Structure 1
């Protein structure tokens, strides 16, 4: 009895001590979003926008990829394949599954339908026709199937920042919407404005055998989920962690380029680029104490912020959701915390009130808790060299070396020849400098927005159809591809009200032929018919039989014929 009493006393004392030392996380997302302010007066703040929508004339990497694909693939397996097809070795994107996580949509993920995270991890070779795509560390997605929503974090090359986007209504028979999320909400967790991920050993993920086994049991088999493996190796979250660290440091690199060299620091940025190219060309022989590096330190000393430049902490403390259910810790957890029932909480990323009613995680594990910087850089540090170097691909360095006859001095001479305006205080861009150094406006896939439809902000109302019933047919069979499509030429069913949408449909006379399956099926024009045979809209249309045929006829009749009879 005495031993039991002492144990009880020790447990109680330990719990009391835990409450004393535990940091507080009482603030809500809404409060944090309102109180988190960007530093004022710095060059980077003036040059890198913090608006929800991307700066005019710029778009996210995700938007460019979707526009070039002619639309958003569905289901998610096809979106995974889109990235896989881009990979030079046709490898799957880096992927992990988290059934019991910490995202806004954690209440809608479970063992049967875990949250799926994917990240691009490749760079393409440059060709005569243009620079190769380099999305490594610049494109991340999270998908919770039960929420019908994809969270997208992708880099904006021109704006020098990551964009936060949502693909809403991503489900069978739904009209998906690609929108830009409220940035202040996203950065309550993504405190550095970039990707985040837990630390090793990643007990939340399916790289842990017990988590993978729980997913397999809940799903009733070990077959891939959304074309991704249920059982994963530790190398997958390890690589995902590396990619998020790389992405997180891009934002730091922009600050080092802009704030570290200052408004008038064009000469500082020129030397920074030189050192970055030298390091990228031969990391093993790079001397961080060489005279050129000392020049950079001297120039940074003139402009560097007095309080330094912080490297935000992108690593969350490891969480072990299964251990929380075991032993004394599990007993105490169940005693003091109401378990989240599946389906509770936010149904989407805009449902903050429902999320904030859920039991809070311990502050140490909560991504909302303010995290101390990973490091604080000073003017004597030359980390900007490594950050700028990481923006260039191996193919870039090969092309520049060839241009300089494989002579480092000649490469430095190319940088010296660039006009001073090239180093004006604006975000550092791999593409911009490759064009400048090669002396050519070499094409790149993901810059021009001339052929893209306007970006949409989160919270904009969806089209409400009340007067023109035929729009219901278009909504069911056509809106998924032709309303909200980033490609301008395919976005011809856009519009804020019924009248404008119908007017745009009526002006597209090609619709009559595109919907005439009875005439053109089996002919050489079949590949122009809509909905396409490989789409879910086609399957749903054919499954309705006579009802589908009547829907096609109504849509055709809504569009005036070429001759008006």
Structure 2
């Protein structure tokens, strides 16, 4: 009998050990990315407010913040450090955006990142001042980039002020000698992980990032140097991922605020006016704001008339912290390695490569961003978080300008909401720019304030992921333009610079021939070292210029051949 008991006890201990060492990456894994994409229609209906588009391309007349920035600076800079510098240039004091490195992450391109070429994550964190004629740029919590050098692809999440949503974009073929294309990604793919339609980020202590000493040490070892990678130091303080975490939170609450503004107030302009009044009262003196005072109670009463019965979900942006190094250490790591299949798959090389991504070993479900996540909170009509959300979208310079226009009188400021144009309070997305301009006008400031990133008249049409690259036949004169000119003049968000657009080889060539200025831009022999040298193309600080110089050393007639493609004014 004792022998039987010992056998039973041994089996129980063995079973417990096996359970503790269980290979969770195969037993409790998330669904495939393709399954989640196919399920996107159901999720969109449940999570997205009716007035905010869920299409891949932005609504007509609207564009992403990223598109506006690139269009207004004429070109998509290369290499990546120049793109970072462009974003820094927009900041009041030129401060660089936040950046960190993730060598073993969880993105769709995770298999292309490693300790030699880690994924770089960037987040803008500034509010530019307003002027007497224009409202300042405010990308804080509204612009995020992820770059994997081995994939030659930048993933972009940036806010669309006019559409009230984040746009998901890709910069493809972003590599030496490449022809970069800015495209809008398939939204259904992006929202398999970005389930609230907003940025996501892991919880502290951020063991995947180079804020952790072990990750930083492995980066140094793999790269054989302590030198920065793409401008990012090998080691960064924990304050960097902590701030990016906060910015991702800001982005997610913008989405929730739009749901409240559009859906929770339904057709009630009075509800939206009251929400804005409470936001302004809060901004007037946040430290002494009383959530039980009369304005707040009035807002609750108005919300109760139309609040969705299922409530308003605040998206969960947080992923559980993952320690990729710990996964391979100790007896549990050894045991896991026995059961986790060794993959020879290269993984997804782009955001279109879903089959390759699905063939990679799965993460445990609780670590996988594909796993459905419950909302962070579900708001009811008793919550006034919508007002706090509006307050967070109004910048410090905005509110100072409103205070001054109201002669520093709260009652005058609140009254301006009732006097503002009724179009501000329709069931359409809240726009910080339109709201501030409308309130200033109601306060007597009739200035037609400009804003960098709203008007789309000078932008070229947006392009969606999946449109095949232009096919160019062997021997075509377009080959040279593809190598040295397409990066700036084909797919450029700026309409005036997108003059090499075209859906066919013939159409593209016709557009080039119609641009006679190209002859002068390529006449290096005549204009180099003259006062017109700045009109020569490609720009001297561009990668394409360097490539053209190298090619001209082998073929001195290269520029002449390109110029012959474009008829001159006197050709007969």
| Match of residue 199, structure 2, among 195, 200, 213 | 195
3-state secondary structure, aligned to 1:222: coil
1:356 aligns with 2:365: no
Aligned to 1:543: 550
Matched, 1:182 2:186: yes
Deviations 1:232-258 (Å, cap 9, x if unpaired)?
A: 110000000000010011110001111
Mapped to 1, the partners of 2:423 and 2:175 lie a distance apart of 48
Quickly say closer, same or farther: Cα 1:74–1:40, change in 2 above 3 A.
Answer: closer
Asked if 1:10 corresponds to 2:16, the answer is yes
Following the alignment from structure 1 to structure 2, what is the Cα–Cα distance between the partners of residues 417 and 519?
A: 61
SS at match of 1:259: helix
The correspondence of residues 197-276 of structure 1 with structure 2, limited to 5 A, is 197-262=201-266, 264-276=267-279
Find the aligned partners of 1:179 and 1:16 in 2 and give their Cα distance.
42
Match of 2:339 in 1: 336
Give the structure 2 partner of residue 152 of structure 1: 156
C-alpha RMSD of matched pairs (Å): 2.1
Contact 1:38–1:45 (CA under 8 A) maintained in structure 2: no
Match in the other structure for 1:378: 380
Give how far 1:10 is off. Answer: 3.1
Q: Which moved more, 1:134-143 or 1:41-50?
A: 41-50
Evaluate the alpha carbon distance shift between residue 34 and residue 153 of structure 1 in structure 2; reply closer, same or farther with a 3 A threshold.
same
Deviates further, 505-514 or 155-164: 505-514
Does the CA contact (< 8 Å) of 1:44 and 1:259 recur in 2? no
Partner of 2:286: 283
Question: Which of residues 302, 324, 328 in structure 1 aligns to 2:305?
Answer: 302
2:538 is matched with 531
Check whether the contact 1:80–1:92 (CA below 8 A) recurs between aligned residues: yes
Residue of structure 1 equivalent to 2:3:
none
The offset of 1:328, in angstroms, is: 1.9
Note the C-alpha offset of 1:7: 6.0
Q: 1:511 to 1:6 in 2, by over 3 A?
A: same
Q: Give yes or no for contact 1:542–1:548 (8 Å, CA) kept in 2.
A: no
Aligned partners of 2:465, 2:428: CA distance in 1, in Å? 28
Q: How many Å separate the matches in 1 of 2:335 and 2:137?
A: 50
> Cα distance 1:327–1:68, how it changes in 2: closer, same or farther (>3 A)?
same
Q: List gaps (5 residues or longer) in structure 2.
A: 1-5, 442-446
Q: Distance in 2 between matches of 1:190 and 1:34?
A: 15
Aligned residue number for residue 74 of structure 1: 78
2:330 matched residue in structure 1: 327
* Residues 248-284 of structure 1: CA deviation (Å, up to 9, x unaligned): 111100011111111x211000000011111122211
Cα distance in 2 for partners of 1:478, 1:304 equals 53
Asked if 1 retains the 8 angstrom alpha-carbon contact of 2:21 and 2:335, the reply is no
- Contact kept in structure 2, 1:244 and 1:314, CA below 8 Å: yes
**What is the deviation of 1:41?**
8.2
| Among 529, 539, 558, the residue aligned to 2:565 | 558
Q: Deviations over 1:151-194 (max 9, x none)?
A: 00000000000000000000111100000000011000000000
Give the whole-Å Cα distance in 2 for the aligned partners of 1:6 and 1:218. Answer: 43
Alignment counterpart, residue 143 of structure 1, candidates 134, 143, 147? 147
> 2:34 is paired with a residue of what secondary structure?
helix
Give 5+ residue unaligned stretches, structure 1: none
Q: How does 1:47-58 map to 2 (within 5 A)?
A: 47-58=51-62
SS at match of 1:101: coil
Please state how far the C-alpha of 1:547 moved relative to its aligned partner. 3.4
Are 1:172 and 2:176 an aligned pair? yes
CA shift digits 1:26-70 (9 cap, x unpaired): x22222112133578899633111100000000000000000110
**Is 2:477 the counterpart of 1:470?**
yes
